[in-house]
Structure 1
Amino acid sequence: MNKIVLSFIGLIFCGVISNGCSQTVPPVKHRIIVSTDIGGTDFDDYQSMAHLLIYADTLDIEGIISSPFGNGRVSHILECVDAYEKDYPNLKAASKDYPSPDAIRAIVKQGATEIVNTRGYDKPTEGSNWIVTCARREDPRPLNVLIWGGIEDLAQALHDAPDILPKLRVHFIGGPNKKWSVNAYHYIACNFPELWIIESNASYRGWFVGGNQSGNWGNESFVEKYIKDVGALGSYFYSKGTHMKMGDTPTLTYWLNGDPEDPTSPSWGGQYVRAWERQHKVFNRLTSVTDSIEEFAVLELLLPAENMPENSFALMHIENQSIKAEIKENQVRFLFSPKRSGNWTYNLESNISGINGLEGELVSYPTPAENGNKPSASYPNWWADNPAPEYKEQGHIGIKTVNRWREEFLGDFARRMKRCVPKNKQ
């Protein structure tokens, strides 16, 4: 009987929001590093960070790296740690294994603040160096790297220290993050195909889409009843968003409940399949509406360029991105990854006369269900969203592998939030 079934039975006997039982705690603590774009373009990382600290006694947190799209920096992580410090006496009374606020501050590192160019890596950062340091420690346990934003620091760490690859287990929230971070992603896929990685491009949405949203299980009602004003962390959580999103949290709950050694088994963080070929299409011309690519795949656009001035530049404007080109040998090169199925239009801006003003179109199609039965020999340790129709909802593959456990993982979260206040006030 697996851990999820045991957890579910326990919830039946002790009630979903009671104090009488807790979630399954791994017998051996997992080592984790979190890379987050907190403070960047989305509020959900603030909420996921509060959730992470509520569960800090169940894991060995070895690093928290700021790797933003936008203006996020280390200070945004430390803001959450400040809230944690206020609740720390109550948390410590509930479990002696909670790390001190200063111990957490000591492992907060600044990662990349810019999207790397099409080469896929740039210069070492404090964050990328910390991944290398932790991976090289004398510890028999793997190092689990949970990526909530850009994947640049992981790419840099692998470039600088390829010897760390066997020690790593990566859980990457892709989709929009992959779209922004496509250069670093493509570098990893091309150069480190044996990396152990879960690439969650859609399943993560099951944290806030679907499942039981009735009554107090709704995204707003749950926060109102079980999070708002529950200790300093509850107030911090609510101040960042009055409804729940937490799209990065499945990377954490994957390690809390289920069999993390087997991504195909059920877990609170999703249930995955061996990845099919990582689709990469190259076009040596402008694309049109007759050209298509699978959602979440990588498009490479190569266009000839002549009479290039000094300091040549070229940008692809597509949706809310302005993608910088690599320019060399009379050619401009763009990489793009569509975060969903649908139609895309783009235009090019450049000081190269033959490139400036060009326009193109592209269609991205839904992931075929049969991909789940086509594991790639090239990527033996790569895992992807389960595209089977029974796990699809609202057009997104895999999300039912997460939202099927909504009452269980939210029930556990609600119980743990009570630790933030004294027992006589619970």
Structure 2
Amino acid sequence: MSCNSKSESNMTFDVIIDTDLGGDPDDIQSLFRAVHYSDILKIKGIVSTPCTQIEAHPWDTIPHVELISSWIKRIDVDHLRQNGYNDLMDEKTLLGLVTLGSEHPGLPALEKSSEGSQWIIKTARNYTKENPLWILVWGSITTTAQALYDAPDIADKIRIYYISSSNTLHDTASRDFIFDFMENKYAELWWIENGILPRGTHETFRGVYQSGLQEGEWAYTAFVDHNIRNHGSDHSGLFAEKCGDVFPVANWPKSSLKEGDSPSILYLTSSVIGNVGDVDDPTKESWGGQFRHYDEDKFPNHYIDLDLPAYECQWTIGKWRYDFLKDWKQRWDRYDSKE
């Protein structure tokens, strides 16, 4: 089993989020979703990984750990828990899980170990092939690669869902290290690579915002105004505004709900909420996309985008847009409703 519970309605998944939060605001959008779904995703770590877009994003001047922690406070998950949603993780626990990973892209090396890579190792060693730790990579795969470099023994204890494309371009060396690791040390590494190069040719993950239903409140440029603004709390006066009013929109597409990393979340929540998919088999349909083997005989657990045009790859997520956004809308309403 790849979950903590055999009852589908109670399935949970232990995850580490490896994020370059601080670049395009879509990582912040996905962090909101992860915390709102922490009844299903039991977060065991939130590790910062390097962002290479500092000049384009002024708030990259804020230390990554501090920035991640600030947005967790903004969410005010304890407000939701007080409304009766006690299965969500509490704020104190979440803040204690934020760690500093690699600060610069590049090939793993002995001297590049970080608090974050060591946290991945320490955590992963509590798991098994049958009960794995999921690592959701929302940026360059630098820190996760370093963890595998330092501790190859964790390879059979983890499953990686990696948003590739631009993230691979930001640190191609670390991505290639993962592939070489699989080729030379552990061919059974479990790895979804969503967005294989060349950039723009497939990019299944983009289906989360630019595919599927785009009418009315469900449009990627309208959802925030209709369903997030004027929602949330001010954390009992800690902040001047409700979190829904400061929820950031993406830089590109302009003013959008992008959530480019959220397919990794949707992949795990799909079978629990939507009764779609099988987390053990990425070749089946799911809210988080549908994939194919890269080379099943050689690498039985390495999955990549379908061998189809980009719009068809993205449709494997977009076709479920109403379903996963309807549930997201309902979760925002929890700020104002008691269970």
TM-score bracket, shorter-length normalisation: 0.7 to 0.9
Aligned match for 2:244, one of 220, 234, 240: 234
Structure 1 residue ranges without an equivalent (≥5):
1-23, 276-374
Q: Does 1:216 align with 2:217?
A: yes
Q: Does 1:68 align with 2:54?
A: no
Q: Distance in 2 between matches of 1:25 and 1:209?
A: 30
The equivalent of 2:29 in structure 1 is: 47
**Structure 1 residues 176 and 170, CA gap change in structure 2 (3 angstroms):** same
Displacement of 1:138 after TM fit?
5.4
Contact 2:34–2:41 (CA under 8 A) maintained in structure 1? no
**Structure 1 residues 380 and 120, CA gap change in structure 2 (3 angstroms):** farther
Q: Distance in 2 between matches of 1:269 and 1:175?
A: 16
Q: Does 1:129 align with 2:118?
A: yes
The equivalent of 2:287 in structure 1 is: 268
For residues 122-171 of structure 1, give each alpha carbon's deviation from its aligned partner in whole angstroms, at most 9, with x where no partner exists. Answer: 51111110110111115662000000001011111111110110011000
The equivalent of 1:156 in structure 2 is: 146
Give the AA of the match of 1:386: L
Contact 2:49–2:143 (CA under 8 A) maintained in structure 1? yes
**Structure 1 residues 376 and 28, CA gap change in structure 2 (3 angstroms):** closer
Give the AA of the match of 2:313: G
Q: Return the index of the structure with the highest Cα Rg.
A: 1
1:215-364 equivalences under 5 Å are: 215-232=216-233, 233-238=243-248, 242-257=255-270, 258-275=277-294
The equivalent of 1:305 in structure 2 is: none
1:79-98 equivalences under 5 Å are: 79-85=70-76, 87-98=77-88
Displacement of 1:79 after TM fit?
1.3
Give the AA of the match of 1:197: W
Other structure's SS at 1:115 match: coil
Aligned match for 1:388, one of 308, 316, 322: 308
Other structure's SS at 1:382 match: strand
Contact 2:12–2:39 (CA under 8 A) maintained in structure 1? no
Contact 1:30–1:141 (CA under 8 A) maintained in structure 2? no
Give the AA of the match of 1:96: N
Give the AA of the match of 2:284: S
Could you tell which deviates more after superposition, 150-159 or 92-101? 92-101
The equivalent of 1:378 in structure 2 is: 298
Contact 1:45–1:148 (CA under 8 A) maintained in structure 2? yes
Contact 2:81–2:87 (CA under 8 A) maintained in structure 1? no
Structure 2 residue ranges without an equivalent (≥5):
1-6, 55-59, 196-202, 234-242, 271-276
The equivalent of 1:345 in structure 2 is: none
Contact 1:91–1:420 (CA under 8 A) maintained in structure 2? no
**Structure 1 residues 260 and 227, CA gap change in structure 2 (3 angstroms):** same
The equivalent of 2:315 in structure 1 is: 400
Displacement of 1:26 after TM fit?
4.9
The equivalent of 1:101 in structure 2 is: 91
Q: Distance in 2 between matches of 1:156 and 1:270?
A: 27
Q: Distance in 2 between matches of 1:32 and 1:218?
A: 29
Contact 1:120–1:155 (CA under 8 A) maintained in structure 2? no
Other structure's SS at 2:112 match: coil
The equivalent of 1:171 in structure 2 is: 161
For residues 204-232 of structure 1, give each alpha carbon's deviation from its aligned partner in whole angstroms, at most 9, with x where no partner exists. Answer: 00011121101111112111110112104
For residues 238-258 of structure 1, give each alpha carbon's deviation from its aligned partner in whole angstroms, at most 9, with x where no partner exists. Answer: 477742110000001100012
Other structure's SS at 1:190 match: helix
**TM-score normalized by structure 1?**
0.65
Contact 1:172–1:197 (CA under 8 A) maintained in structure 2? yes
Contact 1:128–1:153 (CA under 8 A) maintained in structure 2? yes
Contact 1:208–1:245 (CA under 8 A) maintained in structure 2? yes
Displacement of 1:34 after TM fit?
0.4
Q: Distance in 1 between matches of 2:91 and 2:10?
A: 24
Question: Which protein has the bigger strand share?
Answer: 1
**Structure 1 residues 95 and 174, CA gap change in structure 2 (3 angstroms):** same
